[in-house]
Structure formats: C-alpha cells, structure tokens
Amino acid sequence: MQKTSDWLMSFTTQPRPNARPAIGLSKPTTCVKVSITGGKGGVGKTSVALRMAKELAGQGHRVLLLDCDTNLSNTAIKLGLPLDDTFWKLLSAEKDFRDCIIRREGFDLLPACNGSVDLFESQLALDEIIIDIVSAHEHEYDWVLLDCPAGLDRASITLNAWCDHRVIVVTPDKSSITDSYSLVKILQTRFGIKENHLLVNMIQNDRQFQKVVMTLSETIENFLGCRTHVLGGLRKVDVSAEAFDTFFLSEEGSEWHKNFFKIVQQFAEKWGAGNISVRPAVEQEVH
C-alpha cells in the first residue's frame, strides 16, 4: 500500500509536460474509490453522493461514504441525524473508526463536523488524514465514496485526484459549467488526470442536457485533451426546497428514481471492481 506522503511527494509544484495520471480509469480489482465533486456549490452534489451510496448498497455492495467538507458537513443534516464532534474525536484518537461510523440506508457514513473550533484551529492536513483513513479501511468495502467540497482548494483537488474515478456534478447554469471546466483543468495540469465522469443535474429537457454535455465535454477535449464519460442527466423536480432531500432519498418508483438507479447500475457494471460479487443487501440500522 502506497503511503500518503509518498503519493503526494510524487508530484511537483510545476506541471509536467508528460505528466501521467497517478490513478487511471482501468477497472480495479479491489475497493473502488469515487469522488462526487463539482466546481460550484449548490448543484446537488451531496444529494447525489447519498443516493449513489444508497443505490450501490441496495445492489448488495459494501459502501462507505465520507463527508469531506470537514467542518461544514451536510450529509448528516440531509439524513436528519444529530450534529456532533465525532469526526474530531476520530482525528484526535479519542474514538476509533468503527465507533464513528453511522449505519444508514444500507451503507456506512462517516460524517464530518459543523463549526468545530478544535478542528478549525488544528491546522491538520485533512486531505492526507482522509486518504490514510480510507487506505486503512478500504479492504472492508467494495466502494468508497468521497463527498468532496465544491471549489478548487488544495485538499479537495488532492482527494479528487487520488480517487479512481471522479463524478463531476454540473447544472445548466453557466457558472457551474465554467467552474467544472476549471476543476478539470487543475486536475489535468497538477496531477495529469485525463478522464472524468459527468452527471448533469437539474435539466429541463433532453435538448438542454445535450447542450451542456456538448459544451463542456468538447471544450475539455479540445483545450485540455481530456476525456469525459457522460453518465446521464437528472431532470429538475418540481418540489419545494424543504421537500427535495426527502424526494431525492425516497424509495418512490417514479421515472426520476428509475433513471437514477439505471445511471448508478451502469456505472457500477462498467467501472466496478471485476472480482467483486454482489452480496445480499443488509438490513438498515443505526449504531
């Protein structure tokens, strides 16, 4: 297993003309690590991460979801769970990993903190710590999903680059498209990442979906030489902001939910580990 420090030190601060990606898109033989990411906030990234974890777990896979927005955690909020400083207690060795995991919707969740003064003042290299946490426990899972913060901060970029795959969530909004391009550019320039996945959220119709896909994927290919694997599009739903998370995570058998299930299923079949057999789904519990 490669140490975090060795992996990070393998990159220089200057772009390398012939940089090769540390992690490619070849089908891995063990745990698959996926970042759910995006250049802009408010695109539904956390909701997608939660639903994706739920769908993979429902297909019988062992799934861990980490909230990597370490001091502004939203995963627990969206699941209606109480907020606490459990993540900080893990970092400070007051609790071990298993004591910090919440079992919900068939998958394991490691939520982060919300406004922890201790975490804020710690000045820890949180990207390195998260990589070390995953590296120590990935043998227990088939899939590890990282709900990465929006934006281009160094920690988030490092986590995105370290994962086997990156699912970039984008909306038809121009700023979302532009920010997602910037994210791909930094990943390519700094880490040599040449391939990413694209999920278009909140589309009004198929024409709008195709326009976003063509605009972003062609620009990325022409100017960065990177490939974009299009996962699909999710229609904008006519529900209130308060009801959105309930709708997104519900078991409702609508066309929207069927579409999302299909997207995750195809992603898992194509990019999942080749030697992982589907296991019976486990009962939901919280501990």
pLDDT digits (tens, 9 = 90+) for 121-132: 998 899 999 999
- The residue ranking higher by pLDDT, 273 or 65, is 65
d(CA 277, CA 53): 17
The mean pLDDT value for 8-20 works out to 37
Q: Which domain holds residue 166?
A: 30-267
Does residue 20 lie within any of the structural domains?
A: no
**Residue 82 counted as domain residue:** yes
Question: Hey, what are 200's tokens?
Answer: 């278009």
- Evaluate whether residue 19 is within a structural domain: no
Q: Is residue 280 part of a domain?
A: no
In a domain, 12, yes or no: no
pLDDT digits (tens, 9 = 90+) for 128-183: 999 999 999 999 999 999 999 988 999 999 999 999 999 999 999 999 999 999 99
Higher pLDDT, 5 or 1: 1
Residues 100 and 73 sit within 8 Å (Cβ to Cβ) = no
> Residues 21, 75, 173, 190: what is their CA dihedral angle, to the nearest 10 degrees?
-20
pTM of the model: 0.85
* R_g of the chain, CA atoms, integer Å: 18
Q: What is the pLDDT of residue 105?
A: 87
Q: Domain of 90: which CATH number? A: 3.40.50.300
In a domain, 106, yes or no: yes
How far is residue 145's CA from residue 126's CA, in Å, rounded to a whole number?
A: 16
pLDDT higher than threshold 60 for residue 15: no
- Say if CB 31 and CB 273 are below 8 A apart: yes
Answer yes or no: is 112 within a domain. Answer: yes
Domain presence at residue 287: no
Q: Give residue 279's pLDDT band: very low, low, confident or very high (50, 70, 90).
A: very low
Question: How many structural domains are present in the chain?
Answer: 1
